[in-house]
Structure 1
């Protein structure tokens, strides 16, 4: 059965955007929404995750849990999903310190 899928991308190669736009609509730059079967969603996410390079991508898909959705990520992100007793929360990783503030104490 097909279900709503959302993929958000940041700084991904053009061919990734092209692959996503074949199956989903792009209401704003880098945000893709579509109703996909599990097989198509899994294959599309595999292509995106393998091709992200220096960019990043987030997949939100339906799941049989308390929140009714699951999150998957690919690439480097400051925000990391973590599981806390069955709930997915987002941890904000600190930005890399610059050399000047690291040496001044």
Structure 2
């Protein structure tokens, strides 16, 4: 069943932005909103996560958990989602700390 999906991007390649606008609207630059099936959402996220390069992306979609949503991130970010007893919380990395190489997370 299709559900509201929100995707925020920072400094992603133009071809990724083009792919996202085929399925979602872009009310402000880098913010995409749409009603997508889980399959389309997962395919779009795979494209974004593989192509994010030096940019970053955050996906928020409905999930059957206490908060009612799930977060996925790709790219180097100062804010990192952390699972705390089933709740998604955001941890901040100090500004002066180097960014470790990271893989896309689910």
- TM-score in same-fold range (> 0.5): yes
1:36-70 deviation per Cα after TM superposition (whole angstroms, max 9, x unaligned):
00110000000000000000000001100000000
Q: Hey, what's the Cα distance between the residues in 1 that align with 2:52 and 2:85?
A: 30
Query: Which residue matches 2:3?
Result: 3
C-alpha root-mean-square deviation of aligned residues, in Å?
Answer: 0.8
CA separation in 1, counterparts of 2:60 and 2:88? 12
Q: Provide the secondary structure at the position in 1 that maps to 2:94.
A: coil
Q: Could you tell me the TM-score, scaled by structure 1's length?
A: 0.90
Q: Which whole-Å deviations, capped at 9, do the CAs of 1:51-101 have from their partners, x for residues lacking one?
A: 00000000001100000000000000000000111110000111126xxxx
- Structure 1 outlier segments of 4+, above 4 Å: none
Q: Which structure has the larger Rg over C-alpha atoms?
A: 1
More helix, by proportion: 1
Counterpart CA distance in 2 for 1:75 and 1:61 is 18
Residue ranges of structure 1 left out of the alignment (5+ in a row): 98-105
| Residue number in structure 1 paired with 2:75 | 75
